[in-house]
Amino acid sequence: MVGKDIFLVGKPNSGKTSLFNRLTGMNQKVGNFAGVTVDITTGVCKGQQLSDLPGLRSLRSMTPEEKISRDLILSNPEAAILFVASGTSLSDDLLLFSEIADLQVPMILAINFKDELSKNHININIHQIKDLVGCPVLLINAKDGSGLDELKHFIKKSAHKVPSSFCRSLYEEVTEDGVENTYRRSMIDKTLPVDIELHESEFLKRQKIISSVIRTAVTKEEDSEHLGTSKKWDKVLLHPVWGLIVFLAVMYLVFQAVFAFSGIPMDWIDGAMSSLSSWAGETIPDGWVQSLVADAIIPGIGGVVIFIPQIAILFFLLGVLEHTGYLSRISYISDNFLRRFGLSGKSIIPLMSSWACAIPAIMSTRILDDPKERMAVIMASPLMTCSARLPVYTILISVIFPQEGGFFGAQGLMLLGLYLLGVVATLVVAWYVTKRSKIKGNQYWSLELPVYRMPNWRNIWTTVYQKTKSFVIEAGKVIFAISILLWLLASFSPKSQQYKEQAYAEYKATTTDATLLTEEAFDVEYSYLGYLGKGIEPIIKPLGYDWKIGIALISSFAAREVFVGTISTVYSIGSEEDATIVERLRNEINLDTGGPRYTLATGISLLLFYVFALQCMSTLAIVKKETGQWKYALWQFVLFFALAYVFALAAFQLLK
Amino acid sequence: MTPSILNTDERAMITYINGDREFKAYLLHNGLTIGSVIYKNYSPRYASLTSITVNGRMISLRQTDFNKIDWVRI
């Protein structure tokens, strides 16, 4: 039985999540709230249910994340508040504390970053602060856990107390029934006009009350060492030259690390899944159950699990950048450039993450507080060249540009061009979405530059675990379902087995082709998937494709990388080695012209198709999860498909 | 509008905020209002952002927004 609801509230960067992780351990669950996709993490501490609310600057601020916190606080007057304040900016944090205190809900004030206070010789007189706020006050350090035993004891005893009021008296109105206080109502009722003069005088009054105590209770707040050190670092890390060099070096290292460190575990997962699939094929008796398990269920699970290393590594590295305070500096550096496309510097992280994989990138758009900007990045980021496009690009470029030309060869330039095209397309789509979207964006923008700190490893690991788990559960369900659907289409045929065997025997007897199709490839041709490929041939013929490429396109709608495996099967290649596939594709004959099927025109057309088409069901699943609606995922799918078709058509018709 | 430029490491007090109510409210939520003391931090020109410290927190505002704030050097 879980007891009282306690909301963990505080300003951004006050150390709430670190404290939450300390108090709840791994005993957490993530809930999705309707409307705006913001995760509220809940956990249990000493029998009480603790919820970690998004950072809040003021009860009156209205960014999507802040609105969630605000609405939860205002609609749950019976819930207690555990307010986390940063000891290094106490006067600022107490302004928010005082706004919540005026709601007269039971509270505890936890002043965090005890270590930084002592390191920077900042002294806080807790007794004076307690006299000011009128509820229990504790000095804690969420990083090393000091002061948390006492805090847990307070939580267990439900020691929260209704604090002193600060400006509540400003909202007293005399009615027929007596004196009514309208403070809570003024926060809830959105129809009331914004009385900025009242808010200003209220703010000044709060500031005056708090400053009068802080002046004597806290020493060395404004000119403390920790701010000075950060400012010194900023002179290097935000410098027009050095700042840019450090920024490029950090980004290079992050993405190299994502590729380099994920390669081995991804190969391991791939190998393990292949072995498991083979084992299932040998153990389960022949039949559709064997095929379902070995060819659909296990590869379907593998298709989800294989992304775990990339997601975990990327979120770990982003976590390190975020915790050190450098992530905000990256946003600062890139803001001016991205503003031309309707975005802000905060978008740089999800956009660059998309080079590794669009899935963690879309998940990381939660750092964007502007809903319009967030939507633009969600909609545009799948156009950045993700790692799944790389095997497709590599094979097709090798087919159409046979000669290696060294460092500046055609193959390398083509690959670079495709990456640049992805960036340009992303920025154009983002610009278009910000211009046309009806979502109300934030009119004003500010960026907090937190002080530089050592990362909190415990917190980073918890985030990595939660994000990875969220991906596996949410995106995994869709990937799994579509894998089974593709298996059904590839495994069953409208023709009888006898008909297929007879047709294959006739084909073997009559064909003069040196590269004879295997029976497996023949089965694919006569499957529903094969018929689908033939069915779409009239649509894809103007792009220079035949039904075999059509099958590869349809099957790779699940995931781009499936293209390689599918063409291996369709062209009867027993192995998936690049060289073999490349050779086979180069030798493929276009029956209409008698020339090669994979000409420069067809190759460029296919490459452009893969630049734009959204062939990744995991991405669609995550877009649905993050936006809360399928319509955005469908819109994205249709738009990108249209772009892919138009560009591929134009390329083929111009180059043929 | 304040005609002069606040230099890095200089301190000022906000005397007036130009702009609409929403803008004033936005600044207020960031701890900026008439009477607030601000410190100008290092703000390279390429970014078109102005970085300041207010109430112990470092925040950056768009240059155009910061220009709407009148201040007096202290």
**pLDDT at res. A121:** 79
Same domain? A208 vs A247: no
Same domain? A519 vs A624: yes
Q: How many residue pairs bridge chain A and chain B with CB atoms within 8 Å of each other? A: 110
Q: Is residue B5 part of a domain?
A: no
| In the block, residue with structure tokens 């002294």 | A123
**pLDDT at res. B5:** 84
Torsion sign, CA atoms A368, A373, A378, A384: negative
Provide the greatest CA pair distance for chain A. Answer: 101
Q: Which residue of A has its CA nearest to B35?
A: A204
Buried b (16+ CB within 10 A) or exposed e, A512-531: eeeeebeeebbbbbbbebbb
**pLDDT at res. A576:** 44
Of B25, B60, B65, the CB nearest to A449: B60
pLDDT at A43 over 90: no
Report pLDDT digits (tens) over A308-319: 887 788 778 888
Of A90, A332, A451, the CB nearest to B47: A332
The mean pLDDT of A391-406, rounded to a whole number, is 76
Interface of A with B in 283-342 (CB under 8 A): 332-333, 335-336, 339
Q: Is residue A468 part of a domain?
A: no
More confident residue, A540 or A63: A540
* pLDDT confidence band for A478 (50 / 70 / 90): low
End-to-end Cα distance, chain B? 17
Flag if B29 and A445 touch (Cβ within 8 Å): no
Q: For residue B49, which residues of chain A lie inside 8 Å, CB to CB?
A: 332, 335-336, 447
Q: Is residue A400 part of a domain?
A: no
Flag if A449 and B59 touch (Cβ within 8 Å): yes
CA–CA separation, A151 and A330 (whole Å): 36
Q: For residue B44, which residues of chain A lie inside 8 Å, CB to CB?
A: 238-240, 243
Interface with chain A: mutation pick from B21, B23, B43, B49, highest number of A CBs within 10 Å: B49
Q: Is residue A229 part of a domain?
A: no
CA–CA separation, A14 and A372 (whole Å): 26
Flag if A336 and B46 touch (Cβ within 8 Å): yes
pTM as predicted: 0.74
Same domain? A437 vs A353: yes
Same domain? A62 vs A151: yes
Report pLDDT digits (tens) over A502-537: 887 887 777 665 555 667 767 777 888 888 888 999
Closest to A28 (Cα-Cα) out of A622, A459, A367: A459
Closest CA–CA distance from residue B3 to any residue of chain A (Å)? 22
CA–CA separation, A622 and A433 (whole Å): 18
Of the residues A186, A219, A252, the one at which a domain ends: A219
Report pLDDT digits (tens) over A258-317: 667 877 888 898 889 888 988 998 899 888 888 888 877 887 787 778 778 877 887 788
* pLDDT confidence band for A55 (50 / 70 / 90): confident
CA–CA separation, A566 and A551 (whole Å): 8
pLDDT at A26 over 60: no
Same domain? A26 vs A144: yes
What is the domain-level CATH number for residue A193?
3.40.50.300
Q: Is residue A232 part of a domain?
A: no
Buried b (16+ CB within 10 A) or exposed e, A379-391: bbbbbbbbbbbbb
**pLDDT at res. A13:** 81
CA–CA separation, A397 and A612 (whole Å): 16
Rg (CA), chain A: 30
Mean pLDDT is lowest, of A173-187, A218-232, A318-332, A337-351, for A218-232
* pLDDT confidence band for A575 (50 / 70 / 90): very low
Q: Is residue A74 part of a domain?
A: yes
Report pLDDT digits (tens) over A167-197: 888 888 777 777 778 888 888 776 666 677 7
pLDDT at A351 over 50: yes
Of A231, A444, A446, the CB nearest to B60: A446
Q: Is residue A485 part of a domain?
A: yes
Q: For residue A325, which residues of chain B lie inside 8 Å, CB to CB?
A: none
Flag if B58 and A230 touch (Cβ within 8 Å): yes
Q: Are A80 and A5 in contact (CB under 8 A)?
A: yes
CA–CA separation, A359 and A346 (whole Å): 18
Q: Is A241 on the interface with B (CB under 8 A)?
A: no
**pLDDT at res. A191:** 64
pLDDT at A200 over 90: no
Same domain? A443 vs A499: no
pLDDT at A36 over 70: no
Q: For residue A235, which residues of chain B lie inside 8 Å, CB to CB?
A: 42
Q: Is residue B6 part of a domain?
A: no
**pLDDT at res. A626:** 85
Closest CA–CA distance from residue A58 to any residue of chain B (Å)? 5
CA–CA separation, B17 and B34 (whole Å): 7
Q: Is A186 on the interface with B (CB under 8 A)?
A: no
The mean pLDDT of A387-413, rounded to a whole number, is 75
Flag if B60 and A332 touch (Cβ within 8 Å): yes
Written as six digits, the tokens of A608 are 């452009």
E strand spans, B9-67: 11-17, 37-40, 49-54, 57-62
Flag if A449 and B56 touch (Cβ within 8 Å): no
Q: For residue A203, which residues of chain B lie inside 8 Å, CB to CB?
A: 28, 33
Provide the greatest CA pair distance for chain B. Answer: 29
Mean pLDDT taken over chain A: 82
pLDDT at A649 over 60: yes
Closest to B63 (Cα-Cα) out of A87, A554, A339, A419: A339
List, in order, residues 6 or more apart from A562 with CB less than 8 Å away.
Answer: A555, A556
Torsion sign, CA atoms A350, A351, A356, A361: positive
Q: Is A58 on the interface with B (CB under 8 A)?
A: yes
Q: Is residue B47 part of a domain?
A: yes
**pLDDT at res. A3:** 63
Of B28, B34, B44, the CB nearest to A238: B44
* pLDDT confidence band for A257 (50 / 70 / 90): confident
Q: Is residue B2 part of a domain?
A: no
More confident residue, A31 or B67: B67
**pLDDT at res. A171:** 83
**pLDDT at res. A338:** 93
For B42, left (φ over 0), alpha (ψ -120 to 50), or beta? beta
Top mean pLDDT of A207-221, A433-447, A636-650, B56-70 is at: A636-650
Q: Is residue B23 part of a domain?
A: yes
Same domain? A487 vs A448: no
The helix/strand/coil state of B51 is: strand
pLDDT at A343 over 90: yes
* Containing structural domain, residue A194: 5-219
Q: Is residue A396 part of a domain?
A: no
Q: Which residue of A has its CA nearest to B30?
A: A57
**pLDDT at res. A28:** 55
Instruction: Report CA-CA distances (Å) from B40 to A593, B10, B13, B29, B74.
Output: 71, 6, 11, 19, 12
Same domain? A20 vs A92: yes
* pLDDT confidence band for A437 (50 / 70 / 90): confident
Q: Is residue B68 part of a domain?
A: yes
Same domain? A450 vs A479: no
Of A196, A227, A238, the CB nearest to B53: A227
* Containing structural domain, residue B18: 11-73
Q: Give the number of domains in chain A.
A: 3
CA–CA separation, A620 and A560 (whole Å): 13
List, in order, residues 6 or more apart from A326 with CB less than 8 Å away.
Answer: A237, A250, A452
Q: Is residue A291 part of a domain?
A: yes
Same domain? A32 vs A167: yes
Q: Is residue B3 part of a domain?
A: no
Closest CA–CA distance from residue A441 to any residue of chain B (Å)? 13
* pLDDT confidence band for A323 (50 / 70 / 90): confident
Of A196, A200, A332, the CB nearest to B49: A332
**pLDDT at res. A31:** 40
Same domain? A282 vs A430: yes
Flag if A335 and B31 touch (Cβ within 8 Å): no
Q: Is residue B32 part of a domain?
A: yes
CA–CA separation, A342 and A380 (whole Å): 12
The CA-CA-CA angle for residues A224, A229, A230, to 5°, reads 105
Q: Which residue of A has its CA nearest to B47?
A: A336
Cβ neighbours around A323 below 10 Å, total: 20
Q: Give the number of domains in chain B.
A: 1
Q: Which residue of A has its CA nearest to B17?
A: A200
pLDDT at A30 over 50: no
Q: For residue A57, which residues of chain B lie inside 8 Å, CB to CB?
A: 29-30
Rg (CA), chain B: 11
* pLDDT confidence band for A571 (50 / 70 / 90): low
pLDDT at A380 over 70: yes
What is the domain-level CATH number for residue B19?
2.30.30.90
Mean pLDDT is lowest, of A63-72, A150-159, B42-51, for A63-72
Interface with chain A: mutation pick from B20, B58, B67, highest number of A CBs within 10 Å: B58
